[in-house]
Structure 1
């Protein structure tokens, strides 16, 4: 008899676990539509009354032009947000004008719905990349055995997006968008262009793991020194707004031969 009870308990726990770990597609198709309807509108921080998020349709927007909107649904008293990752936040209380949930650290977040339509201006924006207007230029005169060369480097953003997840003041994961860079290197001898190349991070994939490369941007490329035969540059590829990076030494000869190695 006891063995039968144990079996029943194990089956029940297994069913409960399976229910809790349904995939996102199942959760969305079985979402709590009434709870989602109550979410619609502008929500402010319960402590400061600052705008925290706007729930509109299937999406949540943040009052920050760098944070991308995410899809959301509510399933079994859990608020799910789908950006680069899917995160679930346990709802501890939900009412028409009050929402409480636990953030990533287990701290309770208290949001209050606002009827102040002027707060919509905080959400009336296009999402911009954190480094949209970043540019770098370097112009250097270099001496080699083959004569004097002018090294010109210009680094600017491309349209290639890299998404980095971080946490906002409420402890909720948000996605910030960055743009990858391209670095143009021109070498001139007596004002004659003898070498020109656009360097992108993909050209260094033999030295950097694919997973890291996908999460990183080409941050910088700059001239460091020259010897009798070549010019040397440092290429920095790293996670946006983080200290984690690779430094690659780039060697370019005036006749256009390129070698790369990790520093």
Structure 2
């Protein structure tokens, strides 16, 4: 009976310890280490190069990169938590008023030094811009077919729809970069007479592209590829920003303005 009691107590303690380790973000924030948070306030530079690494202000951390979005942070049980698109915890190895050491995503030590150099603050004087802001592409093509000449006009430009992609900065810390989705406009004329006009967005291809991938991607390109006796063909490229992973959809537009699409 005594052995069963001991086993039961050990099991209970194990469950309690696991529960403590797995506290939710709301609990962690409400029980955060306010003294550690106060010591983090200010501008920090990389220990090796003295380049600006981050600016801690209030509940947020800012990075010297206009594409990287600021993140909410807190300190709980000697761990620095950053809440961006995903939540990550970085184990603090040493913290002092002017020194911070923590382990990055790969387990490597990051050493930051607090700086009082006011000129470094200019590295953080920016508005966060999407990486592909104001990027446009156009393709005007005259196409000769058995049914006559067609003028094809394709124009791709950014919209206000934001897509967040997580990546790692030079210190091995995950940061969120912002991109803008695109809209692709196709205008098709036969001897000056309008045949087809449509503005394509990535949501129109949800039957061909997995939903999770579509939510993390942008409509990157659209361009004319070929023509035959029955139709004109275009490729629409949907992919993760600044990555090789893409889906290619072929659009088929007939001279009477009918459109169909399929996955290549």
TM-score by length of 2: 0.97
Pairwise CA distance, 1:128: 0.8
CA distance in 2, matches of 1:112, 1:4: 51
Number of residues of Structure 1 aligned to a counterpart in Structure 2: 263
**How far apart are the structure 2 equivalents of 1:252 and 1:118?**
57
Q: Structure 1: how far apart are the matches of 2:5 and 2:49?
A: 55
1:143 Cα offset (Å): 2.2
Q: Distance in 2 between matches of 1:33 and 1:216?
A: 38
- Greater alpha carbon shift after TM alignment, 87-96 vs 189-198: 189-198
Q: What's the CA shift for 1:191?
A: 2.3
| Aligned Cα root-mean-square deviation (Å) | 1.0
Q: Secondary structure at the match of 2:158?
A: strand
Alignment of 1:1-263 (within 5 A): 1-263=2-264
Shift, 1:201, TM fit = 0.6
1:196 CA displacement: 0.9
User: Runs of 5+ in structure 2 lacking a partner?
Assistant: none
Deviation at 1:221, TM superposition (A): 0.4
Q: How big is the shift at 1:262? A: 0.8
Task: Map Cα deviations across residues 114-158 of structure 1 (whole Å, 9 max, x no partner).
Answer: 011111100010111111122111111112333211001010111
**How many angstroms does 1:253 deviate by?**
1.1
Alpha-carbon distance in structure 1 between the residues aligned to 2:167 and 2:221: 23
Deviation at 1:192, TM superposition (A): 2.8
Following superposition, the deviation at residue 228 of structure 1 comes to 1.1
Counterparts of 1:256 and 1:31, CA distance in 2 = 61
SS in 1 for 2:213: helix
SS for the counterpart of 1:73 is strand
1:226 deviates by 0.4
Distance in 1 (alpha carbons) for counterparts of 2:4 and 2:47:
51
Measured in 1, the distance between the counterparts of 2:122 and 2:5 equals 62
| Distance in 1 of aligned mates of 2:108 and 2:14 | 27
TM-score by length of structure 1 reads 0.97
The alignment partner of 1:48 has SS state of coil
Distance 1:234 1:78 in 2: 47
Structure 1 residue runs of 4 or more that deviate by more than 4 Å after TM superposition:
none
Deviates more, 1:79-88 or 1:251-260: 251-260
